[in-house]
């Protein structure tokens, strides 16, 4: 286990439940979790308004594409997830993570526990998330783990190094970050 993650995992165990990978037969849990997201949470997770049929189609794609899903369970119910992109953008040198936490369970330590475990699983690669500027919770969570932030077209890229000081770079030349130095780029319009 990475040293800086121990306290985050302990917080989750004390206050919320457990974090583990979903098993192949548990895809219905993931589907039901995503269906419980409200309109705003769906927009933040999928970057657009997503109806129930689109979520069902996404889950079918996940089941066929081999994505891993890390889940946070509270009282036996799946309330937060991190999806590991099985086929990330080839320009990325990091593991892409996609978070979804049900609104009633946000700001209760689930994101922190999920991020700690996701970074542990991604090791030795760095982790990267993409979000809109209005995804304040995701940005704050990433900053808690020392993220480097830069603009990538219409999105923010949030990159977190693992203990080996790995780096992430955007291959098209529009943006670059060596995330071993924890620089934070300004959140202005356009590429940096």
Q: pLDDT over 70 for what percent of the chain? A: 73
Q: Between the CA atoms of 150, 155, 161 and 167, what dihedral angle is there, to the nearest 10 degrees? A: -70
Place of tokens 């700690």: 116
CB 126 within 8 A of CB 161: yes
Q: Please report which confidence band the pLDDT of residue 177 belongs to, taking 50, 70 and 90 as the band edges.
A: very low
Q: What is the CATH number of domain 3-181?
A: 3.40.630.30
CB 120 within 8 A of CB 135: no
* pTM greater than 0.85 (yes/no): no
Return the minimum-mean-pLDDT range out of 16-20, 73-77, 87-91, 96-100. 87-91
> Tell me, what's the pLDDT at 95?
87
CB 95 within 8 A of CB 82: no
Average pLDDT on 95-116 reads 92
Tell me which range, 8-22, 55-69, 82-96, 99-113, is most confidently predicted by mean pLDDT: 99-113
Q: Please report which confidence band the pLDDT of residue 111 belongs to, taking 50, 70 and 90 as the band edges.
A: very high
Residue 85, pLDDT above cutoff 80? no
Average pLDDT on 120-132 reads 88
Average pLDDT on 12-36 reads 83
Question: Minimal CA–CA distance to 91: which of 134, 143, 130, 133?
Answer: 130
């Amino acid at each position: 286990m990475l040293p800086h993650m121990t306290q985050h995992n302990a917080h989750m165990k004390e206050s919320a439940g457990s974090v583990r990978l979903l098993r192949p037969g548990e895809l219905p849990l993931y589907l039901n979790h995503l269906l419980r997201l409200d309109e705003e949470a769906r927009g933040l997770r999928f970057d657009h308004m997503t109806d129930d049929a689109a979520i069902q189609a996404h889950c079918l794609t996940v089941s066929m594409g081999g994505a891993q899903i890390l889940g946070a369970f509270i009282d036996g119910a799946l309330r937060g997830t991190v999806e590991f992109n099985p086929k990330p953008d080839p320009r990325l040198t990091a593991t892409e993570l996609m978070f979804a936490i049900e609104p009633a369970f946000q700001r209760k330590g689930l994101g922190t526990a999920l991020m700690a475990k996701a970074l542990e699983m991604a090791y030795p690669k760095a982790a990267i998330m993409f979000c809109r500027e209005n995804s304040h919770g995701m940005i704050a969570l990433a900053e808690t783990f020392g993220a480097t932030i830069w603009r990538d077209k219409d999105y923010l890229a949030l990159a977190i190094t693992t203990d080996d000081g790995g780096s992430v770079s955007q291959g098209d030349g529009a943006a670059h970050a060596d995330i071993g130095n924890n620089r934070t780029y300004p959140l202005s319009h356009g590429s940096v």
